[in-house]
A and B are shown apart, each in its own frame.
Chain A
Amino acid sequence: MGDVRNKTFVVTRFDPDRDEAPRTQRYQVPVQPDWKVLDALNYIKDEIDGTLSHRWSCRMAVCGSCGMSVNGEPRLTCKDALDQYGDTVEIGPLANFPVIRDLVIEMEGFLEKLKSVKPWIIRAKEKAVEEGPLNQSPEQLEEFRKFSMCINCMLCYAACPVVANEPDFLGPAAIALGHRYNLDSRDEGAAERNEIFRGEGTVFSCSYANECTEVCPKHVEPAAAVNQAKLNVLIDWAKGLVLPRGGAQ
């Protein structure tokens, strides 16, 4: 069976129908040595308090559903082993997001930012089916592959100091996604996306705190994407001063 240890979980609760503001509730949980944080939460919901609401799904760090604040830091609770924590663990909803209930945050604002960067292949003229596929070499794929690995878990938004202060900022995942398409050899929409990158949600709001990269569970390195995007936007802007505009408009 292994060493079962009792840990105290201080969990943020919020019921919009009953609570003025979020509060905390303490639970004693007999923790198994191989448990992740999510196992404790599911134990609480199954055995102690069925009213606790939290998102989770795959249990293997690929769906991005279970992001929460654990001792003040954004973590994937299905990935986070409990034995690295002491006897008391604080669990709350992700920082920088409105809270719908308990540990469940409003993600619609995030989805809107994702959509705003036009995350699809843009072509000046669609290639006819008869002409065959858009080929891409492994070297070309490698240029953007890591930026395509995002699971939309939003930990990067919960860690970003700029997101905390600037509502219009596109944010790490959205910019990384747009940059992923800008780097894709099949795409011809960089000029369009760079206009968005210079708009209200400007990539230049990023102050390279690098926390997004530090917390990303899939090693996407969003800070690298954002700062590469700044350079590309600058080059585009400079080219625009000197050369007439052309290409996929």
Chain B
Amino acid sequence: MKHLLLRIEPVVWFLFGQGIMIGTMLLTGWVLVLGLAIPLGLVSPDALAYERAYGLGSHPIGRLLLAALIALPLWKGAHHLRHLSIDFGGLSRDVVVAPILYGIATLGSLAAIVAVIRL
């Protein structure tokens, strides 16, 4: 397992980096509107009525952005949590923690692809 983790590290680091870069950029607007402005009534919920939301999401660019917005933060999250675990003295449990976290990110990324395809 340790050897496998070493072999995939460049890819994981790349996805983590994109998660921070692109994930942060995409999530800012997403959280601002979906997470705060609409719930707090600053923006009308009609802006994301089903027809409009579906039209945006099912557009090819929409599908791509949504897939990135789901998948990339998962890799940033998984990688950072793994390192946080090690920071708190968890090297010996890394052989369990890392596969679980990267497993969640992998499954989540696959689910993201399915989610945008079925739109």
- Residues of A at the B interface (CB closer than 8 Å) are 161-162, 165-166, 198-200, 202, 204, 207, 230, 233-234, 237-238
Central interface residue in B10, B12, B13, B80, by most chain A CB within 10 Å: B10
| Smallest Cβ-Cβ distance to A235: which chain B residue | B10
Contact A165–B10 (Cβ < 8 Å):
no
Chain A contacts of B80 at CB under 8 A?
207
- Residues of B at the A interface (CB closer than 8 Å) are 6, 9-10, 12-14, 80, 83, 86-87, 89-91
A92 vs chain B, min Cβ distance (A): 21
Given A165, A198, A230, A238, which contacts B86 in the complex, CB threshold below 8 Å? A165
B58 vs chain A, min Cβ distance (A): 32
Contact B10–A204 (Cβ < 8 Å):
yes
Contact A207–B6 (Cβ < 8 Å):
no
With the chains together, A43 CA to B96 CA distance in Å?
Answer: 52
A77 vs chain B, min Cβ distance (A): 28
Contact A237–B91 (Cβ < 8 Å):
no
Chain B contacts of A237 at CB under 8 A?
10
With the chains together, A162 CA to B82 CA distance in Å?
Answer: 12
Chain A contacts of B12 at CB under 8 A?
204
Chain B contacts of A204 at CB under 8 A?
9-10, 12-13
